[in-house]
Chains A and B, each alone.
Chain A
């Protein structure tokens, strides 16, 4: 599965509780739309670390890297696997 699909699936299943692909737009701000709230971002980070074998540093946990499907995908692509 591509990175994009796997990120989308995780968000759809765990935050939107659906498999309807049309409910998640790749450039939507997850926080502003209330899809993910404060505690959700940490869960998302744990998922990304586990799923893609990367390390997310504290100073990488910023909206530019994590606030939409698009930004998550390009963030993962920029990371070397551990």
Chain B
């Protein structure tokens, strides 16, 4: 049952990465919007995020709630030791959500709207970076009480993971936006961005591994420990190549599917590598789990809720299948 609860957390993070993560990535491209079509690029980004931003956001909350219900000591450890990056991440979440909706719900023609652009974009950079830092610290075994409130995360490896997360979200957003754009020039803009960021992502992956090699050798070991891990890496790499190929041939639908697959595999690859640890080095699924009755009730509620909500979700995506203004 601990395993099931752990799977739910990873699944929620996975869904957050491919939905909410792409929203963050949109913010990155908002910041980098350049050239004669900069304004139209920004509008496309705002439209793509609009209708489902609030729904996407819920995945993160689901992950948090399951974490503190099913693994209370892990939640307590992470929030204690990583107080500073988590708090900064919260500031990013506040600034981003507020800026986005103020800009979207206000009157777009007004002077007062202008400051929201930079706030939105900068917080879109910071939040994924810090999310990556937090996950990197959890993965590399430095999130211990002995390490204290700084040394637990102020290290090379967590920041490498942070930049990797940022690159991943930017890549995903560029692919989505290329699908959304539909029209020639804008589509080309995002196609180019998607290809560049996919290559950057590959480079970052190598750097993360190098950082792991020098700073956290046990991660490197775990990432490569069984034939299964190698198979996982191979499939991830294959889907990355598929994305590049599909973008090259302008097969956008295929590119989107492969990109989602690639990002999901990265999330699961991370989870798999640190299994059965929740927080390295000492908290595992087994020793941090809540009593069985809690797990049973929570999983039951999750299952029931999913059955109730699934049709609603399908309906939402049917209504907004094409995420554009009427």
The answer to whether A binds B is no
Give residues in B with beta carbon < 8 Å to A.
none
Give residues in A with beta carbon < 8 Å to B.
none
